[in-house]
Structure 1
Amino acid sequence: MKVRIESSKIVKPSYEDGSEAPAHARWVTLSVFDKVTYGEHVAIIFAFRPPSPPNGEVELGLAKALTLYRECAGRIGEGPDRRRSVLLNDAGARFVEATVDAPLAVSLPSGPSPEVRRLHPRIDDGPVELVQVQLTRFSCGSLVVGFAGHHQIADGQATANFLSAWGLATRRLPMSPAPVFDRGTRFVPREPPLVEFPHRQVEYRAKKRNVVDEEEVELGVAGHDKVKVHRMYLSKEFVARVKARASSGLPPSRRGYTTFQSVAAHLWRAITAARGLGAGVSTQVRISVNGRTRMRPPVPRDYFGNVVLWAFPRCDAGDLVSRPVGHAAELIYRAIADVDDAYFRSFVDLASSGVVEAEGLVPTADSEQAVLCPDLEVDAWLGINFHDLDFGGGGPFRVMPTYYPMEGSLFLVPSTLDDGSMEAYVALFDDHLEELKRICHKIT
């Protein structure tokens, strides 16, 4: 796929519709949740069938959306108080226009590959713009929008809210509901603080020494070849069977496991088996937990920022594979349930206490870790409204993450068919991936 870049520019907020431009720039301190997450850009690919509005209208919509979401047009840096902050200076977002002299059907890879990275601006060299977009037009009239946003200003739900507003602005509709911007003041520690949980071993860790990971060598992962990313389609019938099997052993008084808990449990077991892990090897899953509905009082759905911590269900690999899928689902259920309001408040108290800086702790959210085996990291978009992005020609027919070859990473994306089916994007060593393909659709 040959992508030709036609233009690259900065789009700044447009206050031409009567809204008043701010008199001066100001700093907004990042919250403790912003600072503990991944400090990099995350890219998402949206594919639209024709017709779609011309690039000029999409650009104008972006400029209007930036007047409401000023943080997306700002810059991250060290504020006057020496804390990591966002400078609201209307510096703008990157807007790239590109073309492909071929139809989308023969150009867009059927599965994730390095070519996908050509459909969004480069994010591996630390771009200063917090939001970067690329509009790629294909000869058939199809449009692919590659969006890249800095994770420390927005989690998945906040990003989806911004994308929805961009679509509404492009369609000349009111950007509603209005976002909530109070990241610098919302998460206040208690007085006195109450740290009830071991956050130093969960969200934070001591800085690693620059040595070879002995566990990786012992597991043999250092000797593997290439990591490949594979897209698996999970039909609504298959998902329903997994849910039914996972919940089959529950008493009548218990609600069945959720779609996410069931599917994540099945894939955790299947990937562990495909890796050939057995008794004596501990495996865990890193699962994002949205705190908006868990904190008390709840954080508004339209809050712009990060409100995510992680659950870490763990199990002996041999025990995980030998027992039914319901056992893995219960481990996931309990681990997520434990990340409740008390846990979120405990984290706020520790992260606000100065201990992190005094002890030189760093977040465990580490995108530079190339191999997770024997563990997994699951990013679920099942409850996030990415499909609401609509520039006027309807929603996307494909939503997918960029090519992300971190071994052990797993993305669960709802199908655009909106029928309960989903797609799973999993990165594994080549030989493990071949085994996963063979056993993935067997439910035990």
Structure 2
Amino acid sequence: MKVSNKTSCMVRPADPTWSGKLALSELDQTGVTTHVPTIYFYAQSPEDWVTVIQTLKTSLSCTLVHFYPLAGRLSAIAGGRLELNCNAAGAQFTEAYTDNKLIDLDSLLPSPIYHQLIPSIDYQSALLEEIPLLVLQVTRFGCGGFSLGVNISHVVADGQSALHFVSEWARISRGELLESPPYLDRKLLRAGEPPKASSRFEHAEFDPPPILIDQSGNEKESEKETAVTMLKLTATQVEKLRRKADNGQKSETGRGFTRYETVTAHIWRTACKARNHKPEQPTALAICIDVRSKMRPPLPRKYFGNGIVNAIATGFSGEIVSKPLGYVSCKIREVIEKVDDEYVHSVLDFLKSQQDLSMFRELQQTSNGEEHFYGNPNLGVISWLTLPIYGADFGWGKEIHMGPGTHDSDGDSLILHSKDGDGSLVIALCLQMRHMEDFRKLFYQDIDVE
């Protein structure tokens, strides 16, 4: 697919906004600190293209008045830390065109063409202080439809906050008023404050993850070619998995397992099988947990920033594969349930006490020169089940598809609702290409095994 006529500009807030340095919480500065891409496809606009672009730019400018951190820039400070310079430098807005038509979305999902529809970030050569925190690309297709590629810095917004921004931008684009202003005070997560007393918790999530037992490092695994797939589970298949997990475990836990616990357990087991691990192979599962409702008092519903922590479930591939699905689901539940207000503050204190916080960022090197890598024998499963991912109507109707953008790290996966609204789920998964065929086969085959 050829995408041409790319032109870019900076869109700045329509009115003056607060300016100055904004302290970031430790949850903002660790884990994934790159931009996170999503993409929306729209069937057709009844208006001319010039009007569409002008409407999107004008409404974006108005929306940035309220979400002004997205118009700022990051800067590095002492201790490998970051701060947010609210300077209204603006969001990067790109227009593009392709002769291709949106006649078969399945042929686009997932696909390398996303790299042409979502603007990328060159972290190696660009100065940190010059990288826009919000980059967008609107691409017109030959049929009159268009795509909207959105790339937002994870330092500034997690999934909940990013979707809040998109929802309000769409509302303003339709000519409506802002519905829910963002809550921008990050001091609720003690941004800029010193650490407090030590905690009873240990934080294994910040340790280097397991590697394959016959290797001395993870470099070879991280270099292997990956593939991406979208796997659908019908509502019937989801319920079948939940019944399997609950069998023999429900009485111990007091309640049935959630969809996330069950499907994630199934993904973990399938990955261990498809990767053909030895029984004694250690394996880790990274779980991303929203802490907004776990804090005491809870964070404001529209807290804008990162309100998530990573927790790690561990085991040996032999037990993950041989034990019942409920056993694996229980491992996941135990990790999720330990995350409460005390635990979150413990994470904050642990990170505040570190001399160099950059060591805990994705793609940062560890002290022995290796990069933290969560691929084989490990994986991460992120839930989008509670996020309002669908329904972004900018004035020309709701999207015909929304999904994650480029998704090419071995072991990364997402669980999201199907747009059909029939209770079915979609799993977006990246694995090494040599494991993908076995994974697909086992993923569905094992659902029917009693």
Aligned pairs for 1:320-339 within 5 A: 320-339=320-339
Structure 1 stretches of 5 or more lacking a match?
16-20
Counterpart of 1:274 in structure 2 is 274
Moved more, 216-225 or 423-432: 216-225
What do the CA deviations read for 1:257-281 (whole angstroms, capped 9, x no partner)?
1111111111111111111113111
Counterpart of 1:76 in structure 2 is 74
Contact 1:406 1:427 survives alignment (8 Å): yes
What do the CA deviations read for 1:139-168 (whole angstroms, capped 9, x no partner)?
222221100000000111011111111101
Work out the CA distance in 1 between the residues paired with 2:381 and 2:388: 18
Contact 2:362 2:372 survives alignment (8 Å): no
Give the secondary structure class of the aligned counterpart of 1:417.
Answer: coil
Structure 2 stretches of 5 or more lacking a match?
365-370
Moved more, 307-316 or 48-57: 48-57
Give the secondary structure class of the aligned counterpart of 1:104.
Answer: coil
Give the secondary structure class of the aligned counterpart of 2:110.
Answer: coil
Contact 1:109 1:115 survives alignment (8 Å): no
Q: CA deviation at 1:222?
A: 3.3
Work out the CA distance in 1 between the residues paired with 2:148 and 2:328: 37
Work out the CA distance in 2 between the residues paired with 1:146 and 1:361: 28
Moved more, 124-133 or 150-159: 124-133
Counterpart of 2:257 in structure 1 is 257
Q: CA deviation at 1:382?
A: 1.2
Work out the CA distance in 2 between the residues paired with 1:95 and 1:108: 27
Contact 2:233 2:426 survives alignment (8 Å): yes
Contact 1:285 1:377 survives alignment (8 Å): yes
Counterpart of 1:248 in structure 2 is 247
Counterpart of 2:14 in structure 1 is 14
What do the CA deviations read for 1:416-435 (whole angstroms, capped 9, x no partner)?
11222122121112221110
TM-score (norm 2): 0.88
Moved over 6 A (4+): 79-82, 188-191, 218-221
Give the secondary structure class of the aligned counterpart of 1:87.
Answer: strand
Work out the CA distance in 1 between the residues paired with 2:382 and 2:334: 18
Q: CA deviation at 1:253?
A: 7.3
Give the secondary structure class of the aligned counterpart of 2:403.
Answer: strand
Contact 1:203 1:364 survives alignment (8 Å): no
Describe the shift of the 1:426–1:45 C-alpha distance in structure 2 as closer, same or farther (beyond 3 A).
same
Counterpart of 1:167 in structure 2 is 170
Counterpart of 1:62 in structure 2 is 60
Q: CA deviation at 1:83?
A: 5.4
Work out the CA distance in 1 between the residues paired with 2:330 and 2:8: 49
Aligned length, in residue pairs: 428
Contact 2:43 2:102 survives alignment (8 Å): no
Aligned pairs for 1:266-305 within 5 A: 266-305=266-305
Moved more, 387-396 or 422-431: 387-396
Counterpart of 1:50 in structure 2 is 44
What do the CA deviations read for 1:366-408 (whole angstroms, capped 9, x no partner)?
4865661111011221111121422123332222222222111
Give the secondary structure class of the aligned counterpart of 2:186.
Answer: coil
Contact 1:163 1:386 survives alignment (8 Å): no
Counterpart of 2:360 in structure 1 is 363
Counterpart of 1:230 in structure 2 is 229
Q: In the alignment, residue 41 of structure 2 is paired with which amino acid?
A: A
Counterpart of 2:200 in structure 1 is 196
Q: In the alignment, residue 86 of structure 2 is paired with which amino acid?
A: L
Aligned pairs for 1:143-158 within 5 A: 143-158=146-161
Contact 1:203 1:365 survives alignment (8 Å): no
Work out the CA distance in 1 between the residues paired with 2:27 and 2:419: 30
Q: In the alignment, residue 278 of structure 1 is paired with which amino acid?
A: K
Counterpart of 1:348 in structure 2 is 348
Give the secondary structure class of the aligned counterpart of 1:386.
Answer: coil
Q: CA deviation at 1:98?
A: 1.0
Counterpart of 2:368 in structure 1 is none
Work out the CA distance in 2 between the residues paired with 1:233 and 1:202: 30
Q: CA RMSD in A?
A: 2.7
Contact 1:204 1:363 survives alignment (8 Å): no
Describe the shift of the 1:51–1:366 C-alpha distance in structure 2 as closer, same or farther (beyond 3 A).
same
Give the secondary structure class of the aligned counterpart of 1:135.
Answer: strand
What do the CA deviations read for 1:6-60 (whole angstroms, capped 9, x no partner)?
4211111113xxxxx24x6211011111112322111111112223661211111
Give the secondary structure class of the aligned counterpart of 2:381.
Answer: strand
